[in-house]
A and B are shown apart, each in its own frame.
Chain A
Amino acid sequence: MDSAVMSLLGAFLLSIIGLFVFIWSMRKGLLMENPRAASVIFAKGEIGKVDDPALQPGERAELQAAAAEKGDAAIHLPDELELDQRLDADRSSAFPVFMFIAFACMWLVLGSVAGLTASLKLHMPDWLVSEAWMTFGRIRTVHLTAVLYGWITNASLGVIIWLLPRLLRTPLMGAMWVMLGGALINVAIASGIGAIGAGWTDGMEYLEMPWQIGLFIVAGMVCIIGPVLYTLVNRKVESLYVTVWYHVAALLWITLLFLVAKLPGVHYGVQQATMNWWYGHNVLGLWFTPVSVGAIYYFLPKIIARPVRSYNLSILGFWTLAFFYAQVGGHHLVGGPVPGWLVTLSIVQSMMMIIPVAAFSINMAGTMWGRTHLARYSPTLRFMMFGGLMYMLSSVQGSFEALRSINQVAHFTHFTVAHAHLGAYGFVTMVLFGAIYFMMPRVLHWEWPYPRLITLQFWLAAVGILIYFVGLSYGGWLQGQYMLDATRPFMDSVNVTLPWLKSRSVGGALMVASQIIFVGHFLAMVLRFGPERTGAALFSLRRAQKLELDHGE
């Protein structure tokens, strides 16, 4: 059939289905606001009681005082039973979570050092060229594999495994399987990085890891999904908080994505390219994004002790993200040798992504309204707010970048690289940093030994990514314009980027410094450095004592 007729017919059918879904949701009362569901992350009586385990007791008191609002005087003590359930949930997941975060930290250091090396190599092309594994094409890929699979995936799994038992008020079931899954995944990442260094690669962006090694990742994810689903169906809460949706769906999505993308012998030629970008964009859209958005929906309200503004908006955001984001990958092939309808479909869905992003941003702005000053007291909150803001920026930017007119300039240039880092670092990584700062005191029963390092790390990372993004976007845009100008020789488009490639290395160096501080601080915490403050991150003296007895300390 003619592709124009096909896309028109498709659009028509979709609108009709959409209309029926809308009518159905009205009749079901799905658009009625549901404050009870939004409050499910708080124990009875806990709203109004701030929670940030990364803060010391004095600072937490300041945050509490700053967060106090009219009507808070009537707050009762939190329900002891529910707090006990949460404590049990935290303890059930502590060891797997620690394992994931420890692996994540290791890959973060390796990945960011490789990234900085690759960045330097672009303006120092004769530096470190004697060995094959050091060449740009391999170091860059080691960087990508280490940060995407090693850092973001491990940290995301840590966050998911920690949050779900809490949100379901149920201890994690089958923790041993989760650990086995984590081990398989990290074996695969280590072998994948080794293979890439040795020149054994599947050669597709985001899918470089050879498929033989990729099978371990699929097996590992299956080992993790089993216990997660089992815990889900045995839960003690009735209402599934929105974070649960994002996280459970994300786990299912990434496993299937990776499995389909890695099936050997199926994809070839141009079809392989569309598959490549279906995967490449969905790994961001259906894995990193839902994990981080889900984490913000939990941590941000939790720190400021107020439920999220609108539960319905979060539902709308979830389903529109699931539907639209899954189909945007084709915009990477604008102008390429692929069917025109596919590119058009992806451009339309890229623009539609404005809906979930707006739903999220309005919701978070409503939740934070009049409370942004709290970021002064809580560095963890700062990470979350920064991440949420960058999500909005990078998604809106991504939507417009898909348009043919902008794509024509930005595609094939460093502009795209800058955009990718805004999403993967400014948004996802910052949220993961914040989540880890919140989680680890509860996981290790020990406070962060040097709280000032958290603030220092935040500013290094934030300033680093801003230098990186602004400079490289500008340089990339110029590069694209020079390339489109037929009167200029190609080399002009290379020369014009040089100062911006150097500024990228400066920004990257700041980011690497922040990573090293982060991982060093994590190690100090694991090795029990600093003043002993066991239990301070918990709620009451009674529970702290109980824990200490349990641990025989």
Chain B
Amino acid sequence: MENEVKLAAGAMVTLGLATAALVVLPYIQVRDVKAPEGLKPYTSAELRGRASYIANGCVYCHTQQPRDKSFGPDAERGWGRATVPGDYSYDKPHLLGSMRTGPDLMNIGVRQPSKDWHLGHLYQPRAYVPDSIMPSYPYLFDVKNEAEPGDEVLKLPPGYAPQNKIVVATPEALDLVKYLQSLNRSYPVLPPEPQAASGAAAPAVEAAPAPVPVPAAAAASAS
């Protein structure tokens, strides 16, 4: 090869093909996907919480994409049905994740609805899940001598609160918990690719194996 024009042109063609396949076509295919009826837009508090989820890099240990039964026991673990593109209509940036150092969180709001549990777990994960390797987030909390009006005081398991002091959640922690509680994709949706049935049968609504709510005390195994 002696021609730099051919080199540059060839390089651009290969990249163009890849971009068409992995960026443009998916864009065309999903741009018209509507948000499912059961999915509500995030409130502003939840969006602030989502911003702290992103800022603190939670996505590097937690996925938000339960897989189909054929890919693993995600539903059996209570993580919920396999997600469909519409489930992410309001997600920007996407938080699908690529790592399960910790469990999938797509439906954590269903299986762990308790605010107290979330706050305490963020303050010290090992107070609830003894072998957890999740970092503790003391910087999301204030340690005080006594509560002031309007303070959200943490109810920690015995032995985990600082001596003679109380732990109070910061607004950031409260927002983050609101976001976690909002993670709920248990409403029913159409199966992922209804056109695969070539219009013969009316698309059936997928029976959503609703994530099992786990009582806070027994949550150890799930988290």
Which of A's residues lie within 8 Å of B, judged by CB? Answer: 2-3, 121-123, 125-126, 129-132, 135-138, 140-141, 199-205, 229, 232-233, 238-240, 244-245, 248-249, 252-253, 256-257, 260, 267-278, 282, 286, 315, 319, 322-323, 326-327, 329-330, 332-340, 342, 345-346, 408, 411-414, 416-417, 483-486, 489-491, 493-495, 498, 501
Which of the segments B16-24, B113-121, B151-159, B175-183 contacts the partner chain? B16-24
Q: For the complex, what is the distance from the CA of A136 to the CA of B62, rounded to whole Å?
A: 13
Instruction: Confirm or deny: B205 has a beta carbon within 8 angstroms of a beta carbon on chain A.
Output: no
Which residue of the partner chain B has the closest CB to A128?
B135
- The CA-CA distance from A248 to B133 in the complex, in Å, is 44
Interface size on B, residues (CB 8 A): 82
With a cutoff of 8 Å between Cβ atoms, the chain A residues found around residue B195 in the complex are 2
A336 touches B96 (CB 8 A): yes
Contact of B131 among A2, A252, A269, A495 (CB under 8 A): A495
Contact of A122 among B2, B18, B133 (CB under 8 A): B133
Considering the complex of A and B, which 8 residue pairs feature the smallest CB-CB distances, nearest first? A137-B57, A326-B18, A199-B55, A486-B73, A278-B22, A249-B11, A203-B54, A412-B100
A2 touches B196 (CB 8 A): yes
- B42 in the interface, Cβ–Cβ < 8 Å? no
A275 to B29, CA, bound (A): 13
Report B-chain residues with C-beta under 8 Å of the C-beta of A286: 15
Q: Does B44 touch A at the CB level, under 8 Å?
A: no
Cross-chain pairs A/B with CB under 8 angstroms, 19 sampled: A126-B126, A129-B136, A130-B138, A136-B57, A138-B55, A240-B4, A244-B7, A248-B7, A249-B11, A260-B23, A270-B33, A322-B10, A326-B15, A337-B65, A342-B22, A346-B22, A486-B76, A490-B223, A494-B132
Instruction: Report the separation of the CA atoms of residues A233 and B4 in the bound assembly, to the nearest whole angstrom.
Output: 8
**Residue contact B93 to A484, C-beta cutoff 8 Å:** no
Given the known interface contacts A137-B56, A490-B103, the answer about A270 and B88 at a Cβ–Cβ threshold of 8 Å is yes
Chain B 1-35, CB-CB to A under 8 Å as 1, else 0, gives 11010011011101101110111011101110100
B72 to chain A: which residues have CB within 8 Å?
A: 335, 408, 483-484
Chain B residues closer than 8 Å to A491, beta-carbon distance: 129, 131-132, 220-221
Q: Which residues of A contact B68 (CB under 8 A)?
A: 335
**Residues A412 and B4 in contact, CB atoms below 8 Å apart:** no
Give every chain B residue within 8 A of A232 (Cβ-Cβ).
Answer: 4
Shortest CB-to-CB span from A477 to chain B, Å, is 14
Separation of A257 and B129 alpha carbons in the complex (Å):
42
Contact yes or no, A201 B55, CB < 8 A: yes
Is A270 a contact partner of B94 (Cβ separation < 8 A)? yes
Q: How far is the CB of A467 from chain B (nearest CB, A)?
A: 20
A408 CB contacts on chain B under 8 angstroms: 71-72
Given contacts A129-B135, A136-B57, A408-B71, contact A345 B221 (CB under 8 A): no
Complex contact A199–B100 (CB within 8 A): no
Q: Once the chains are docked, how many angstroms separate the CA of A457 from the CA of B125?
A: 40
Instruction: Provide the residues of chain A in CB contact with B43, threshold 8 Å.
Output: none
Q: CB < 8 Å: which of A203, A269, A273, A338 contacts B89?
A: A269
Is B87's CB within 8 Å of the partner chain A?
yes
Instruction: Enumerate chain B residues within 8 angstroms of A338, measured Cβ to Cβ.
Output: 26, 85
Contact A274 B23 (CB under 8 A): yes
Apart from A319-B10, A326-B17, A413-B100, what are 11 other A-B pairs with CB-CB below 8 Å? A136-B135, A249-B11, A253-B15, A269-B30, A269-B33, A326-B15, A338-B85, A483-B72, A490-B77, A498-B133, A501-B133
Least distance between A420 CB and chain B CB atoms (Å) = 10
Contact yes or no, B58 A137, CB < 8 A: yes
Chain B contacts for A248, CB-based, 8 A: 4, 7-8, 11
Q: Which residues of A contact B71 (CB under 8 A)?
A: 334-335, 408
The verdict on A269 contacting B85 (CB below 8 Å), with A125-B125, A278-B22, A342-B26 known, is yes
Cβ of A121: which chain B residues have Cβ within 8 Å of it? 135
Q: How far is the CB of B180 from chain A (nearest CB, A)?
A: 15
Instruction: State whether B22 touches A129 (Cβ < 8 A).
Output: no
| A533–B193 alpha-carbon span in the complex (Å) | 70
Given contacts A204-B93, A274-B22, A337-B65, is CB(A130)–CB(B139) below 8 Å? yes
- CB interface residues, B 89-105, toward A, < 8 Å: 89, 91-103
CB of A342 within 8 A of CB of B83, answer no
B163 at the interface (CB under 8 A from A): no
Do A203 and B59 touch across chains, with their CB atoms under 8 A apart? yes
Q: Does B63 sit within 8 A of A, measured CB to CB?
A: yes
Q: Chain B nearest CB: distance from A357 CB in Å?
A: 17
